[in-house]
Amino acid sequence: MKVLFVNACMRGEKSRTLELCRDYLEKLQAAYPQAEIEEVDLTTLDIQVQDGAFIERRDAFLRAGDFSDEMFNLAKQLIAADHVVIGAPYWDLSFPAKLKMYLERCSVDKLTFIYDDQGVPHGQCRAKALTYITTAGGYIGDMNFGFDYVKGLCSMLFGIREFHFAAADGIDIIGVDVAARMAEAKSKFTEILREI
Ligand SMILES: Cc1cc2nc3c(=O)[nH]c(=O)nc-3n(C[C@H](O)[C@H](O)[C@H](O)COP(=O)(O)O)c2cc1C
């Protein structure tokens, strides 16, 4: 099983979200010793914003059916994964912009998804399930826009069918027992891993 860890924990080693992700990945490795975990570290990934010039260049490749350029490598890596893990802190009610840039780069017509004659997209990702891990300063409640967006994109276009979510939220609120909130989020992982 190829596991792709998309690390959008922008604060690096200081990130509590990264702490949760590492716990999830350790448990995953223990449950599936054969799993190969590959990481895309968005904190260091050099990625250009997709502006008009970029899209024109990309469209020329798409018209030629040529996906050999390195701009398609992230999409190919995502398509080939058997399980996807996204770790991203809750920023401005969603997630850091670098994750949006990554998802845009992965979202390629005729590669990540193929439209049929009826205009229905068929997602090409091998992964059945995606796990989204986050932490938030306040309570996320029904404003889970980051996860909801990832779920929408990855189910509608990329073909991933099952989504799991784990969060330690409220952890910047004074008086909240941060260790308990983190432990509570970690306790969900074993259950999630049974379902992937
Ligand atoms: C740029 C930025 C935006 C944030 N936006 C929100 C927000 O909209 N709602 C919220 O509850 N917390 C927000 N926070 C707090 C973080 O969600 C919280 O500190 C989280 O645990 C950070 O994760 P990390 O430790 O993995 O970096 C924000 C923090 C930063 C740095």
Confidence (pLDDT) at 52? 98
Quick one: tokens of 98? 């670098």
Helix H, strand E, coil C: the string for the chain is: CEEEEEECCCCHHHCHHHHHHHHHHHHHHHHCCCCEEEEEECCCCCCCCCCHHHHHHHHHHHHHCCCCCHHHHHHHHHHHCCEEEEECCCECCECCHHHHHHHHHHCCECCCEEECCCCCEEECCCCCEEEEEEECCCCCCCCCHHHHHHHHHHHHCCCCCEEEEEEECCCCCCCCCHHHHHHHHHHCHHHHHHHC
**Domain that includes residue 159, residue range:** 2-195
Burial label for 51, CB within 10 Å (0-12, 13-18, 19+), is exposed
Confidence (pLDDT) at 34? 97
Tell me the pLDDT band of 143, cut-offs 50, 70 and 90.
very high
Tell me the pLDDT band of 142, cut-offs 50, 70 and 90.
very high
84 Cβ closer than 6 Å to some ligand 1 atom: no
Q: How far is the CA of 1 from the centre of ligand 1 (A)?
A: 32
Confidence (pLDDT) at 65? 95
Rounded to two decimals, the pTM is 0.98
89 Cβ closer than 6 Å to some ligand 1 atom: yes
pLDDT tens digits, one per residue of 177-186: 999 999 999 9
Tell me the pLDDT band of 46, cut-offs 50, 70 and 90.
very high
* CATH code, 90: 3.40.50.360
pLDDT tens digits, one per residue of 72-100: 999 999 999 999 999 999 999 999 999 99
| Residue to mutate (ligand 1; options 90, 135, 182; most atoms within 8 A of CB) | 90
Closest CA to 143 of 94, 185, 88: 94
> Domain count of the chain?
1
Confidence (pLDDT) at 120? 96
Give percent of the chain with pLDDT exceeding 70.
100
Number of neighbouring beta carbons within 10 Å of residue 28: 22
Mean pLDDT of the 145-169 span: 98
